Structure 1
Amino acid sequence: MSYQTGLAPARALDDDSDVEEEALVADYKEQVQYSEGGLEELDQATLAQQADDLQSRLVQAAQPLDFQATLETKFQSYDNYCGLFHYILNSEGPVDLEPPSYYWAWDVIDEFIYQFNTFCSYRARIARQANNEEEAQVLRDNPNTWGCYSVLNVLYSLIQKSQITEQLTAMRRNEDPAAVAGPYGSKNLYRMLGYFSIIGLLRIHCLLGDFSLALKTLDDIELNKKAMFARVMAAHFTTYYYVGFSYMMMRRYADAIRMFSHILVYVSRTKNFQKNTQYDSITKKNDQMLALIAICVAFHPTRLDDTIHTALREKYGDQLLKLQRGGPDSLPVFEELFRIACPKFISPVPPDFDRPEVNVDPIEHHLSVFMEEVKTNMWSPTVKSYLRLYTTMDLKKLAGFLDVQPEELRSWLLVNKQRTKQLRWTDAGLLEGELSNTSDLDYALQGDLIHISEAKMGRKLVDWYLRNLSRTYA
């Protein structure tokens, strides 16, 4: 297997080169072979040589739990994970075991978080419905099973034990990571689990609604095609999905579009041989990303890659037109697409089984926060369509066109102008960036006059429009 050290070798190629893309494609072909059982004989041979039951537990930890699993099975799965991670983290010295592959390491962390997510959603649903007292009592008596603190503790412990952040920092400085790896970090088992635990933290913090902290967790991982997560398709997809969604919820739409566009183009290049069961879930996520990019483009109009633009028009063409028009008719479309594409948010605390009415659905909560932003911006396309026709315009005149009070319009214009200044990520931490104007139209208020900037909208285009308008009414 390639990259058995857990860290992909540095490549001298340019990050955006076609050769680099082909290398990713080749790695993904290898992953498909692994997922479909092409390496089954290798795993069986390893198991045959290992008399210890722990090796089989390593393989079992990466296996998906049946969707219809009983509550007892979910509890048992949690206990199995606790036992496995306790042994790995609390043994006297590092465990001397070789993981099957770095694909396995991702599968373990991914399945661990997936089961945590689905259990929290299931528990919240039982608490809200209040129609299954037997299961509610079992969940009430076991509030710490699949607890948020326990899951986060595992991920942070794996990161700390493996010294993975120190190793990644050393690599960014072109230093030897082995010098800071320590006894645990020098083992593939710890290094791989620690690396993918960072991606796991991104995912969990996003599910909990802490989008700033979610982005902060990736400070030590470079988002490019050389990163190890990019060699595992599901990890690659998950990383850019949650980074892009976090940017969208922080109103950094240009950065969100950039993240979504990257992974959507990559998926389009690898779709010809994505026939395994994993790709079924990726196809669903692909549609979700198209819905999110439609939302972001409505807030921040921009030119998309032709492949993405074509797919977007085919999948959400009618909805996209309504979003771009704005106004009250766009509100249900924004809500529909958000519900389709958002993560399955969870609450950090167990629900109140005795008072179901006080339990707030996390998805509904984040939807309400998002819709407040939508309502603030729903008139933006209409206002811009008027402002583009003038270089100077009276505030009261524009308020009359929109049938709103002048002071209400003034407040909206000031808020909208402030929001056109957004951070654009460059190459530092994901929370950092350069402040730039993301709008193609700028204006300034002086008393009751609105002065529209011609620098962005193009004087020649406006002159042409006004000449043709005058001919129409001549």
Structure 2
Amino acid sequence: MSVKQAPAYQQGAPERPPNEDSDVEEEALANEYKEQVGFDDGEDYDLNRAASLGGGPQDLQAQLQAAATPLEYQATIETKIQSYDSYCNLFHFILNSEGPVDIDVPSNFWAWDVIDEFIYQFNSFCSYRQRIAYQQSHTQVNEDEVTILRENPNTWGCYSVLNVLYSLIQRSQISEQLAARKRGEDPTMYAGDYGSRSLYQMLGYFSVIGLLRVHCLLGDFSLALKTLDDIELNKKAMFARVMAANFTTYYYVGFSYMMMHRYADALRAFNHILIYVSRTKNFQKGAQYDSITKKNDQMYALVAICVAFYPTRLDDTIHTALREKYGEQLTRMQRGGPEALPIFEELFRAACPKFISPTPPDFDQPHQNIDPVEHQLSIFMEEVKTNMWSPTVRSYLKLYTTMDLTKLAGFLEVDADTLKSWLLVNKQRSRQVRHSEGGLLEGDVVNSSDLDYAMQGDMIQVSEAKVGRKLVDWYLRNLARTY
């Protein structure tokens, strides 16, 4: 299979049974992480990638080690292009050799680091290229850099990166192996010559997590979740054994759910990983501690956004930390109204991924380039504006069982038609898809609010939503669990 050709791949997997993990297993996982940190005391895993990359020798072992090594933050454009060519040559050799490459994988950490660094450099280069194109229409830029970017439009292209990830997944037969394991069958029966080798198996497995990340960066949140159909999100999963992979997986799963307005599922993902990090924070050290602390703050910002849309009870540890970090902002967001808009925008900018465009920017007409982050922000803010008055409307409705529409409109100082549209939007938004079993995109439509109402003519009938109460009870029972 050539890296330069798109592979054929299939999606879909059998349903996932409900997870029944316990706190005992999570504690064991935390202890295992402690042992890993103690064993690997000489190396820090920086989620922000600030270390330097040395030149890679010709032998495959050294090339694999170089592929897992972070690129220097201030690397020149020539170095970035050279790094891309090195990755292409490496993956081409692994995928297209006559028969599987026979080499031992040092550890799961190594396999994750290769895929993680590959996607990180892709993300960084796309952001850098977009920034250069934007600056071209505003300030003086290095024309040599612009010329190089013009002459290399396919360098770190979206197509080639996705092709590598899908090729590794297909070559390793990892999807078939994972599906077989979930059915209780022997996965080695589906591995083939390549999938039975640790090199292909681990690269293929973490390529699935990489696809989740890339599709989310491209703004395709439903496809991002679809890629995990064959992976069970629980404490026994392979990615859970690698701290950075564990954190990355739940961050992008939670963010994808949030952008799809599935706030209960997003909070479950965020709560799980934040509780896990809180149990292992004493084991983190150096650059790793700084990176995880920064990512933690971003995760809590996303939790604040979700809670503002979907008020619910949180784990005491999460609730306390949330109030310490974003207590004032959360209060203002929950209050609603125009004054809450800047808070939503500020937290989204601080916590969202560095979105990228699937195509290179237009250097000839830079004013036509769309900033991917601004694009996703505008989509998110439309949702915020749609729900801007929901807290205020809810606060009034909680005081009455029956209320005249015109009277309520007078309290809110709006006309009756505007209020009616707010009520319809609020009622529609209160119905969410909640995951229970099967793929991450599957779920049941439930009422996520403890307040329900109906309109008949100019009268509003208000009642407690029994379905919403059941949802809250269900959420509290499952708070300490994962999927």
Common fold: TM-score over 0.5? yes
TM alignment of 1:8-87, pairs within 5 A:
15-33=20-38, 35-37=40-42, 53-87=59-93
- Is 1:316 the counterpart of 2:326? The answer is yes
Query: Per-residue deviation at 1:52?
Result: 7.1
Which residue in 2 is equivalent to 1:105? 111
1:118, distance to aligned residue in structure 2 (A)? 0.4
Question: 2-side partners of 1:430 and 1:177: how far apart?
Answer: 22
2:168–2:200 Cα contact (<8 Å) kept? yes
Aligned-partner SS, 1:310: helix
Superposition pairs of residues 388-399 of structure 1, within 5 angstroms = 388-399=398-409
**Residue segments in structure 1 that go unaligned for 5+ positions in a row:** 1-13, 40-50, 459-474
**Residues 70 and 34 of structure 1, relative CA distance in 2, 3 Å threshold:** farther
Q: Tell me the CA shift for residue 35 of structure 1.
A: 4.9
Aligned-partner SS, 1:442? strand
What are the residue-to-residue correspondences of 1:203-352 with 2, within 5 Å? 203-352=213-362
**Cα distance, 1:15 vs structure 2:** 4.6
AA matched with 2:356: I
Q: Output the CA distance in 1 between the equivalents of 2:231 and 2:205.
A: 9
Count of matched residue positions in the alignment of Structure 1 and Structure 2: 434
Cα distance, 1:38 vs. partner? 7.0
Distance 1:114 1:380 in 2: 39
Give per-residue Cα distances to partners, 1:151-175, cap 9 Å, x unaligned.
0000000000000000000000110
Quote the sequence identity (%): 75
* Aligned CA distance change for structure 1 residues 435 and 200 (closer, same or farther; 3 Å): same
- After superposition, where does 1:148-227 map in structure 2 within 5 Å? 148-227=158-237
Supply the distance in 1 between the matched residues of 2:124 and 2:444 (Cα, whole angstroms).
38
CA-based RMSD of the aligned residues comes to 1.7
Pick one of 403, 424, 440 that aligns with 2:434. 424
Q: Displacement, 1:427?
A: 2.1
Q: Distance in 2 between matches of 1:391 and 1:456?
A: 15
1:443 Cα deviation after fit: 0.4
SS, match of residue 76 in structure 1: helix
Query: Quick one: distance in 2 between partners of 1:38 and 1:127?
Result: 37
For 1:34 and 1:144, how far apart are their aligned partners in 2? Answer: 41
Q: TM-score, normalised by structure 2?
A: 0.88
Larger mean Cα displacement after TM superposition, 337-346 or 52-61: 52-61
From 445, 449, 454, the counterpart of 2:455: 445
In the alignment, structure 2 segments of 5+ residues that lack a partner are 1-18, 45-56, 469-483
Secondary structure in 1 matching 2:358: coil
- Say if 2:387 and 2:425, in contact at 8 Å, map to a contact too: no
**Shift in Å, 1:280:** 1.9
What is the CA–CA distance in structure 1 between the aligned matches of 2:361 and 2:40, rounded to whole Å?
A: 37
Amino acid at match of 1:22: E
What is the distance in 2 between the residues matched to 1:252 and 1:85?
37
Distance 1:109 1:38, change over 3 A: closer
CA deviations 1:182-232 (Å, max 9, x no partner) are 000000000000000000000000000000000000000001101000010
1:330 and 1:38 map into 2 onto residues whose CA distance is 43
Distance (whole Å) between structure 1 residues aligned to residue 407 and residue 233 of structure 2: 48
Q: Say which structure, 1 or 2, has more relative contact order (CA 8 Å, 6+ apart).
A: 2
| Residue in structure 2 matching 1:412, options 410, 419, 422 | 422
Moved over 4 A (4+): 455-458
1:361 aligned to 368, 371, 381, which one?
371
